[in-house]
Chain A
Amino acid sequence: MTTWHIILIASAATLALKLAGHLVPAGFLERERPARIADLLTVALLAALIAVQTLAVGSSIVIDARVPAVIVAAALYALRVPFVVVVIAAAAVAAGIRAFS
C-alpha cells in the first residue's frame, strides 16, 4: 500500500459516510444508542490520538518536551484562547524546551 492508496481509500470512506447521511433514509443512527455511540466514538478516538501523539515514539512511551506543551495547550483552551494560537503556543513550548536542553 502506498501513501496515495491510503489517502484515496480513506477519502472515499469518509466521503461515502457524508453522502450516506444525506441519501439514505434516516433510521438506524436516529435511535438513541447508536447515536450516543457515534458521539462517544469521536471523543474516544481524539483522546487516544492525544495520548499517542503526546507520549509515544514508535512503540515506546517517552516523556519529553511534548508533555509540558500539551499541558500549556490545555490551560490555554480553558482560557478560551483560539485554536490556532494554542497550536502555535504548544509548538513554541516544545521547540523552546528542545532548543535550551
Chain B
Amino acid sequence: MNELSDAPEPGADPSSRRPGADTDADAELADETGRAGGGAPDTAVRDGLAVGLATAVYGISFGALAVAAGLDVWQTCFLSLVMFTGGSQFALVGVLASGGVAAGGSAIATAAMLGIRNVVYGMRMKPIVEGSPADGARTSVWRRVAAAWVTIDESTAVALAQSNDRAARVGFWVTGIVIFVGWNLTTLAGALIGDAMGDTRAWGLDAAAAAAFLGLLWPRLKRVQAGAVAVGAAIIATITTPVLMPGLPVLVAAVVAVVVGWFDLFHRRSES
C-alpha cells in the first residue's frame, strides 16, 4: 500500500504541487513522486478509485444542503451534472440559503470566482489528456470537452501525483469518472433525504454547511500566506455582514486574496 491514496484527499489542493511554481513546490513534488515509487497505471487506478469513492460520498451533504437552501431536487441534480465542481456548488447554495434569490448575482459571482482555479487545472491537464504526439491519435473535441468537464481538484491532484504521463492520464480519467458518477448518485440521494427532513435547522444542517466549507478549506492551509488570507477574509466577511446585502460580504472578502497575492505578502512556509 503506497501512501499516495491518502495524499490527494478530497479537497486537496493540487495547485500547491505545481512544478516550477517555486522551489518549495518542487521539493514537495519530488517528495510525493518519490513516495509513489513507480507510477504504474494500476497504481493510478487504485489512487483514482480511493480518492474518487471518498469524494463521491460527500455529494450526500451537498444534496441535503441544496434542498435546505430552497432548491428542488431537479435543480440540485442539475448543478452536480453540469457545474460539477464542489466548491462552487456549495458556495452557490450557501449564498442562496442566506440571501435568497435576491442574492442571485452574488451567488453567481462567488461560484464563478471559485471556479477560476479550474482554469489553472485545465492548463496543467491539457498536455496529459493529449498525450505525446508520437501516440498518433489526435485528441477529439468531445474528449477535450469531457476532460474539461471532469477537471476538478481531485482528478488534477491524482494526475499530478503520478510519476509518468501515462499513469497521470489513467489517474485523471479514473478519478474524474468515478467522482462524476458517484457525486451525481449521492447528490440525488442527499436531495431526497433533505426533502424528507423538513425543518433542516433542527437537524443542524446550517452548521453542517459551515463544516463542509471548512473541509474544503482545510487542505489549503499549509502555507502561512494561505492562513493569513483565510483569517483576513473571515474577519472582513464578518464585519461587513451587518452593512452589506447578504452575499456581498463574501465577494468583498475576496479582495484580501487579490491584495495579498499581488504583493506576495506573508510569503513564508509554515513549519509543518
Contacts and interface: CB of A to CB of B under 8 A. Distances in A.
Contacts of A37: 257-258, 261-262
B24 to A, nearest CB: 13
B238 A41 contact: no
Interface string A3-29: 111110111011101111111001001
Given A13-B111, A45-B250, A87 B75 contact: no
Contacts of B137: none
Contact of B241 (A7, A43, A61, A89): A61
A29 B115 CA distance: 13
A49 B215 contact: no
Interface string B191-207: 00000000001111111
A90 B208 contact: yes
B258 A3 contact: no
A53 B217 contact: no
Contact of A17 (B107, B118, B126): B118
B54 A14 contact: no
A87 B226 contact: no
- By size class, the interface of chain A is 35 or more
A66 B112 contact: no
Given A21-B121, A48-B254, A90-B210, A15 B98 contact: no
Contacts of A93: 204, 207
A43 B15 CA distance: 12
Given A23-B144, A73-B211, A17 B115 contact: yes
Contacts of A32: 21-22
A69 B119 contact: no
Interface in A24-73: 26, 29-30, 32-33, 35-56, 58-61, 65-66, 69-70, 73
Interface of A: 1-7, 9-11, 13-15, 17-23, 26, 29-30, 32-33, 35-56, 58-61, 65-66, 69-70, 73-74, 77, 82-84, 86-96, 98-99
Interface of B: 10-11, 13, 15-16, 18, 21-22, 54, 57-58, 60-61, 70-71, 75, 78-79, 82-83, 85, 87-88, 90-92, 94-96, 98, 101, 104-105, 107-108, 110-123, 125-126, 129, 144-145, 147-149, 151, 201-218, 220-221, 225-226, 229-238, 241-246, 249-250, 253-254, 256-258, 260-262, 264
